């Protein structure tokens, strides 16, 4: 029996298999609006047989963009072009999802392939980022403004409004980005959150903004549609966010209607030493799944069908999130079916090309 090609129920939805395209910024939008590139990027992976896909970190406000080229859902004009994509993806029996994000102190950069990911200066169209505390990401990053109460309220309202637009755009899975050193992770981690009010200090206070965002999103996001949260399970730095706090957070988020934790790690501080190797983040997904009793997704250097199958078979995670391998091979799922002798549905248009078993 194939675990990779078995269906998975999340919220009120059933995915046809366990393979999810991990969100990946394309830095190809203008004014946050999706275009043909996003259609083909997502459409190819949907044609290629993944059970679900998550569109890239999509900003809930202009100041929450990593770069000027990010996708956004902060205004209604951004809805229709996304609807075209979700309609196509859903027609391939792939569930369309979106990752809602706010970059916090890591905002206002040039996108990787337009300017190398460095700070975007004010005169080049950049802006002053916001953060829990006035602590820059590194010595080259701009000093962020610490959010006041009204600023925090706006972040929560922006996530709520973007979630409503995501629903109108036809997305069925919504993932909140609370990983990789972006705003919600910045509130979680003691390394970036030095606040002394109700949003800093104790674990409960550091988790508060994320809990408020989850509550606000749940108010407008259809009950039957799954809500996922991506976290960095550890900052890989002593005294930072860690596995024990991730387990505690997952237990709290489960009570607030989160269906799955998508477990990544790192990117909070530039100097962290990460033991990067095949499947290196999988043990975090396994531990959170066992201890918080919540479904998890494993991600990070999972590149072949046998490896994915093993993770699922051992009960380390419920879903496999795949990034770069799907960029190399949009038809990974179709090929994996052939390799593991599972009769995976091919697009009818391509059926004549299916390798003979």
> Judged by CB under 6 A, does residue 317 bind ligand FNR?
no
Q: Tell me, yes or no, if 199 is annotated catalytic.
A: no
Displacement of CA 204 from its chain's centroid (Å): 23
Please, which of residues 223-242 interact with ligand FNR by CB under 6 A? 230
Catalytically annotated residue among 27, 182, 199, 331: 182
Q: Please name the helix (run of DSSP H) or strand (run of DSSP E) that holds residue 295, with its range, or none.
A: strand 295-299
Contact with ligand FNR (CB under 6 A): which of 324, 339, 343, 350? 324
Tokens of 125: 């169209």
> Judged by CB under 6 A, does residue 120 bind ligand FNR?
no
Main-chain dihedrals φ then ψ at residue 333, nearest 5 degrees: -65, -40
Q: Please name the helix (run of DSSP H) or strand (run of DSSP E) that holds residue 261, with its range, or none.
A: strand 260-264
Q: Count of alpha carbons within 13 Å of 136, Cβ hemisphere only?
A: 10
> Of the listed pieces 12-20, 28-36, 44-52, 320-328, which binds ligand FNR according to CB under 6 A?
320-328
Contact with ligand FNR (CB under 6 A): which of 18, 106, 177, 206? 177
- What distance in Å separates the CA atoms of residue 177 and residue 294, rounded to the nearest whole number? 17
Closer CB to ligand FNR, residue 146 or residue 272?
272
- DSSP assignments along 89-153, one per residue: HHHTT-EEEEEEE--GGG-SB--HHHHTT-B--GGGT----EESSS--SSTTSPPPEEP-HHHHH
> Of the listed pieces 37-45, 103-111, 323-331, 345-353, which binds ligand FNR according to CB under 6 A?
323-331
Closer CB to ligand FNR, residue 200 or residue 296?
296
> Judged by CB under 6 A, does residue 325 bind ligand FNR?
yes
Distance in Å from the first CA to the final CA of the chain = 17
Closer CB to ligand FNR, residue 103 or residue 195?
103
Least distance from ligand FNR to the Cβ atom of residue 260, Å: 14
Residues in the chain: 357
Q: Count of alpha carbons within 13 Å of 79, Cβ hemisphere only?
A: 13
Main-chain dihedrals φ then ψ at residue 255, nearest 5 degrees: -65, -25
Closer CB to ligand FNR, residue 200 or residue 249?
249
- What distance in Å separates the CA atoms of residue 255 and residue 322, rounded to the nearest whole number? 27
Contact with ligand FNR (CB under 6 A): which of 232, 264, 265, 316? 264
Closer CB to ligand FNR, residue 65 or residue 287?
65
Please, which of residues 16-35 interact with ligand FNR by CB under 6 A? 22-25
> Judged by CB under 6 A, does residue 300 bind ligand FNR?
yes
Closer CB to ligand FNR, residue 56 or residue 242?
56
> Judged by CB under 6 A, does residue 64 bind ligand FNR?
no
Q: What is the dihedral of CA 208, 190, 316, 253, to 10 degrees?
A: 0
Contact with ligand FNR (CB under 6 A): which of 29, 52, 57, 336? 57
Closer CB to ligand FNR, residue 18 or residue 180?
180
> Judged by CB under 6 A, does residue 106 bind ligand FNR?
no
- Residue 21, C-beta contacts closer than 8 angstroms, at least 6 positions apart: 42, 45, 50, 52, 53, 54, 321, 322, 323, 326
Contact with ligand FNR (CB under 6 A): which of 211, 274, 301, 342? 301
Closest-by-Cβ residue to ligand FNR is 323
Residues of this chain that bind ligand FNR (CB under 6 A): 22-25, 56-57, 99, 177, 179-180, 230, 264, 299-302, 322-325
Question: Which residues are catalytically annotated?
Answer: 182
């Amino acid at each position: 029996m194939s675990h990779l090609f078995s269906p998975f129920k999340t919220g009120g939805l059933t995915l046809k298999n366990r393979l999810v395209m991990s969100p990946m910024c394309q830095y190809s939008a203008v004014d946050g609006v999706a275009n043909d590139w996003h259609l083909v990027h997502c459409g190819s992976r949907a044609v290629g047989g993944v059970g679900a896909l998550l569109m890239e970190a999509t900003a809930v406000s202009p100041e929450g963009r990593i770069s000027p080229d990010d996708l956004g859902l902060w205004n209604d004009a951004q809805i229709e072009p996304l609807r075209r994509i979700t309609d196509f993806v859903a027609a391939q029996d792939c569930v369309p999802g979106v990752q809602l994000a706010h970059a916090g102190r890591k905002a206002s950069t040039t996108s990787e392939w337009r300017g190398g990911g460095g700070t975007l200066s004010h005169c080049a169209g950049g802006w002053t980022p916001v953060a829990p505390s006035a602590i820059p990401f590194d010595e080259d990053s701009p000093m962020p403004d610490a959010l006041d109460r009204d600023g925090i309220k706006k972040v929560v309202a922006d996530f709520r409004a973007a979630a409503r637009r995501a629903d109108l755009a036809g997305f069925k899975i919504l993932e909140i980005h609370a990983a990789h050193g972006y705003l919600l992770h910045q509130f979680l981690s003691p390394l970036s959150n030095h606040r002394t009010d109700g949003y800093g200090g104790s674990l409960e206070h550091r988790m508060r903004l994320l809990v408020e965002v989850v509550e606000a999103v749940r108010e407008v996001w259809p009950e039957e549609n799954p809500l996922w949260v991506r976290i960095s399970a550890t900052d890989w730095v002593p005294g930072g966010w860690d596995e024990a706090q991730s387990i505690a957070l997952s237990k709290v988020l489960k009570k607030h209607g989160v269906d799955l934790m998508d477990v990544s790690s790192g990117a909070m501080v530039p100097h962290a030493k990460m033991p990067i190797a095949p499947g290196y983040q999988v043990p975090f997904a396994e531990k959170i799944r066992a201890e918080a009793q919540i479904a998890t997704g494993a991600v990070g250097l999972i590149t072949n069908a046998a490896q994915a199958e093993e993770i699922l078979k051992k009960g380390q995670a419920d879903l496999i999130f795949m990034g770069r391998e799907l960029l190399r091979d949009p038809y990974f799922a179709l090929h994996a079916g052939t390799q593991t002798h599972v009769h995976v549905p091919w697009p009818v248009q391509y059926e004549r090309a299916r390798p003979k078993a």
